[in-house]
Every structure is written in structure tokens, then in C-alpha cells.
Structure 1
Amino acid sequence: MTPEDIALVRSSFAQLHRRKIETACLFYERLFTDRSETRALFKPDIETQAARLMDMLTVALAMLNDPAGLELLLRRLGERHQSYGVRPEHYAAVRAALLWTLETSLGPAFTAQTRVAWIKVYDQMAAIMLAAQDDRRSA
């Protein structure tokens, strides 16, 4: 992931700030439509979860220039997600729902270059979280 990728991801995410809960709810609606079994992983109050998601993304994106800190954060998050019942195949569904949500929410501002940057960032984050889950299963 390049400094340009980081800048694109951060600037596109910043555009969602005023509509962050609405955007996160849109994300969950898409995820639950695509993978209905994931709905059971969350409490009924999806707006609280939406706020948590956006807060975690804010922290993670702020840490993109601190790989060691970001890895520690994501490993812990991956372990927690495993304890909630998140399975490895859910990460692909989350990726698809995230990209759809960004495209829907940002419209023309979600350029091909911005999409590629988000894919790089998400794939790196997901790989760290999945590695933590694998390590936990192996222990």
C-alpha cells in the first residue's frame, strides 16, 4: 500500500463523516442482504454497531502509517471476531458490501483508483485479522 493509496482511502472516508451512521447502516443492510446468516452475529440495535464500525475504521485508518500498531489492533479485533462467530468466508462478503457501500455513498468520487486503494487496505487488514484467527485456532 502506497502513501497515495493511504491518502485516497482517508480522503474518501472523510467525505462520509457527516453521514457516517447512515453509511454504516447501508453497509450492514447490504451485508445482511448478501449473507443473511451474518445478521445473527449482531445485536438488534444495528445503529450502535454502525457507530462502532465507523469508530473502528476511523482509528484503523489513522494508524495506516503505524504498521506495528495497526497490526496489534487488527490481531485483537480478529480474535474478538472469531469469538463472535465470524468465519473466514465472511471477510469476502464484508469486502463486497464495503466496496458497494463506498461506491453507492460516494458516487463519482469513488474513482477506479480509489476503489483499488480501498481493496489494498481492506485486503491487508483482513489478512491480519484472519492470521490472528488462524493462530488462535492453532494454539
Structure 2
Amino acid sequence: MDVAAADKLTSEAAAVLFYDRLFDIAPQMRAMFPDDMIEQRRKLMAMLAGVVKGLGNLEQVLPAAGALAKRHVSYGAKAEHYPVVGAALLWTLEKGLADGWTPEVADAWGTAYGTLSGYMISEAYGRSQAGE
């Protein structure tokens, strides 16, 4: 198997893990997603890749994150969903990285998600909810 295929398989597996975990801990969120999750999983992984690449330049990432947050409102997303999504994401990363999931990596990912989700909440719902 070539590297690109291995990366794709890993990416798909991570997306499946993420959504399985999300729907396990927040089954009420399942109704917000399509029955066929193939495209949704692809979008998730593409978005995560873009965020990771842009972490060194948040000014590049934030406009797209704000637009995404506003679109999520129309899908029924609420500010209180962001911590649940974060928990599912961090759990997925922990499982996927295994021994590579060190306290430092966990802290870095937690900080990055907290910063990004806080910004997205403030863009979608106003600054008052971002601090809650």
C-alpha cells in the first residue's frame, strides 16, 4: 500500500472513531448529520488538516472558522455542543496517537481546540457565550 493510501485509511479510520465517539457521548447530535457520513467524514478531516497547517498563522484560519461556525448554527449546533465535540476530538486523537499522546501533546491540542472553539462560539453566538 502506498503512503497516500495509508494516510487516507488512517484519516478515514480517525473520522469514523470521532463520529462514533461523538454519537456515543451525545446521541442527540446524530440527528444533525446526514445518514451517509462518508462526505461528512471527509470534510472533517480536510478541515482538521487545514487547521493544523494554519496553527502558526491563526489570522489565516480564523475567517474560515468563523464562517464554518455561522453555518453550523443553521444545522442546529449550539454553543454547548462545542465542549462535547472537543471531548470526542481529544479522545480520538488520544486513541490514534497512542504512545504519542503525551501530557504535552494533550495540553497543546486542548489549548488549540479551546482557542478555536472559543472564537467560533463568539462568531456564531456572540462573545458572551464564548466564555461560558
TM band (smaller chain): 0.7 to 0.9
What is the match of residue 104 of structure 1? Answer: 95
Alignment root-mean-square deviation, CA:
1.8
Work out the CA distance in 1 between the residues paired with 2:113 and 2:12.
20
- The match for 1:117 among 108, 111, 122 is 108
Give how far 1:109 is off: 0.8
**Identity among equivalent pairs (%):** 34
What is the match of residue 74 of structure 1? Answer: 65
What is the match of residue 75 of structure 2? Answer: 84
CA deviation profile, 1:71-118 (whole Å, cap 9, x unmatched)? 111110110111111011111111111111111111111111000000
2:54 matched to 1:63? yes
Gaps of 5+ in 1: 1-15
Give how far 1:69 is off: 1.8
2:22 matched to 1:31? yes
Structure 1 runs of 4+ aligned residues shifted over 6 Å read none
Does structure 2 retain, via aligned residues, the 8 Å contact 1:41–1:84? yes
Q: Greater relative contact order (Cα 8 A, min sep 6): structure 1 or 2? A: 1
Q: TM-score, normalised by structure 1?
A: 0.82
Gaps of 5+ in 2: 1-6, 127-132
